[in-house]
Amino acid sequence: MKIRAAVLEDFGQPLEVQEVDLAEPKSGEVLVRLTACGVCHTDLYTASGADPSGYAPTVLGHEGAGVVEKLGPDVTSVTPGDQVVTLFSPQCRECIHCLSDRTNLCLAIRDMQGKGFLPDGTTRLGRGSEPIRHFMGTSTFAEYTVMPEIALAKVNPEAPPEHACLFACGLSTGLGAVMNTAKVEAGATCVVFGAGMVGLGAVAGCRLQGAERIVCVDLSPGRLDLATAQGATDTLVGGPDTVERILEMTAGFGADYTFEATGNVDVMRQAVESARMGWGLCTVAGVAGKGEVLEVVPRYLITGRRVAGSSFGGVKGRDQVPEYVERALAGDIDVGAFVSHRITLGDVNRGFELMEAQDGIRSVIEFA
Ligand X SMILES: NC(=O)c1ccc[n+]([C@@H]2O[C@H](COP(=O)([O-])OP(=O)(O)OC[C@H]3O[C@@H](n4cnc5c(N)ncnc54)[C@H](O)[C@@H]3O)[C@@H](O)[C@H]2O)c1
Applying CB under 5 A, the residues found at the interface with Zn ion are 40, 42, 92, 95, 98, 106, 108, 169
**Residue list 268-287, contact with ligand X (CB under 6 A):** 285-287
Distance between CA atoms of residues 49 and 60, nearest Å: 13
CA dist 36 and 368 (Å) reads 9
Cβ nearer to ligand X, comparing 78 with 255: 255
Residue number with the smallest Cβ distance to ligand X: 196
Q: Does 220 bind ligand X (CB under 6 A)?
A: yes
Question: For residues 347 and 146, what is the distance between their CA atoms, to the nearest angstrom?
Answer: 23
Q: Among 53-61, 118-126, 151-159, 310-318, which window interacts with ligand X (CB under 6 A)?
A: 310-318
The alpha-carbon radius of gyration of the chain (Å, integer) is 20
Residue burial 108-144, b: 16+ Cβ < 10 Å; e: rest: bbbebbeebbbbeeebbbbeeeebbbbbbbbbbbbbb
Is 106 among the catalytic positions?
A: yes
Whether 327 is catalytic is no
Any catalytic annotation for residue 92? yes
Q: By CB under 6 A, tell whether 340 contacts ligand X.
A: no
Q: CB of 237: closest distance to ligand X in angstroms?
A: 8
> Should residue 254 be labelled a site residue for ligand X when binding is judged by CB under 6 A?
no
218 touches ligand X (CB under 6 A):
yes
CA distance 45 to 56: 13
- How many Å separate Cα 163 from the centre of its chain? 13
* Annotation marks residue 110 as catalytic: yes
* Residues between 187 and 216 with contacts to ligand X, criterion CB under 6 A: 193-199
Query: x/- string (CB under 6 A) for ligand X, residues 53-82?
Result: ------------------------------
The residue among 142 and 267 lying less far from ligand X, judged by its C-beta, is 267
Catalytic residue among 37, 165, 169, 282: 169
108 binds, among Zn ion, ligand X, none (CB under 5 to 8 A by kind): Zn ion
List the single partner that 95 binds among Zn ion, ligand X, none, CB under 5 to 8 Å by kind: Zn ion
Task: Indicate which of ligand X, Zn ion, none lies near residue 98 (CB less than 5 to 8 Å, by partner kind).
Answer: Zn ion
Query: What residue type is 255 in one-letter code?
Result: A
CA angle (202, 203, 209) in 5-degree steps: 85
For 21, residues 6+ apart whose C-beta sits below 8 A from its C-beta are 1, 2, 3, 125, 126, 127, 128
State the nearest-atom distance from the C-beta of 106 to ligand X, in Å: 13
Cα dihedral sign, 310-174-328-154: negative
Does the protein bind ligand X through residue 310 (CB under 6 A)?
Answer: yes
Q: Using CA atoms, how far apart are residues 69 and 67, in angstroms rounded to an integer?
A: 6
* Shortest distance, position 169 Cβ to ligand X, whole Å: 5
Catalytic (active site) residue 169? yes
Given 42, 46, 189, 262, which residue is catalytic? 42
**Contact yes or no for 237/258 (Cβ under 8 A):** no
Minimum gap (Å) between residue 263 Cβ and ligand X:
3
CB contact at 8 A, 106 and 91:
yes
Torsion on CA atoms 237, 240, 244, 248, rounded to nearest 10:
-20
Is 40 annotated as catalytic? yes
- Give catalytic status of residue 190 as yes or no: no
Enumerate binding residues for ligand X (CB under 6 A): 41, 169-170, 173, 193-199, 217-220, 223, 238, 261-264, 267, 285-287, 310-312
Which of the residues are catalytic? 40-42, 62-63, 92, 95, 98, 106, 110, 169, 362
